[in-house]
Structure 1
Amino acid sequence: MTFRDYIDGLNRNALDAYARRCGIASSYLRLHVKYASKDPSVALIRSLTRESCGALSLTDVLEHFNIVDEVVVSPEV
């Protein structure tokens, strides 16, 4: 699931609750976080991942902010 899909799937009350759990205003979540217009702090990245209750992985959030271009998987030894 992409981060934007997750946000789009939340109703207004769920979005407000998610933002509150992440320690940000819902307007900031809808405008800046959803469209990745601001660089997030490490704490916010962690909160966005943790407070999605398993719906998003850390990689999902990092990719949303273009922090990682691709996931490199090491071959198993």
Structure 2
Amino acid sequence: MKLRDYINSLSPEQLEAYAARCSTTANYLGTHIRYATKEPSVKLIRALARESEGNVMLKEVLEHYHITDSGPVSGD
């Protein structure tokens, strides 16, 4: 599942709990993480995947931040 879709699927209470497990705030998740407006630390990137309880893979968090590409690699 994409990180943005996961965040959007959470109720306000679930978002608060997810944020607490990631050592951040629901406001930060809803603003900066959902729209990728700030580059997170490696620790937070890992927590976003780990604390999603299997809903978001690390690869998907990295794709959300355009750190890695989901498309095929093209050669010259």
Shift of 1:49: 0.5
Once the two structures are superposed, the pairs formed by residues 7-22 of structure 1 within 5 Å of their partners are: 7-22=7-22
Cα distance in 2 for partners of 1:71, 1:18 equals 29
Cα distance in 2 for partners of 1:45, 1:3 equals 11
Q: How many residue pairs are counted as aligned between the two chains?
A: 73
Partner of 1:38: 38
Q: Specify every segment of 5 or more residues in structure 1 that has no aligned partner in the other structure, as ranges.
A: none
RMSD, aligned CA:
1.4
Task: Return structure 1 stretches of 4+ with deviation > 2 angstroms.
Answer: 70-73
Once the two structures are superposed, the pairs formed by residues 1-77 of structure 1 within 5 Å of their partners are: 1-70=1-70
Cα distance in 1 for partners of 2:46, 2:18 equals 13
Cα distance in 2 for partners of 1:43, 1:64 equals 16
Structure 1 counterpart of 2:28, one-letter code: Y
Residues 2-23 of structure 1, C-alpha deviation per residue, up to 9 Å, x if partnerless? 1111011000000000001000
TM-score when normalising by structure 2 = 0.90
TM-score when normalising by structure 1 = 0.88
Structure 1 counterpart of 2:20, one-letter code: R
Q: Specify every segment of 5 or more residues in structure 2 that has no aligned partner in the other structure, as ranges.
A: none
Cα distance in 2 for partners of 1:38, 1:69 equals 18
Residues 11-66 of structure 1, C-alpha deviation per residue, up to 9 Å, x if partnerless? 00000000010000110110001100000100000100100011110001000111
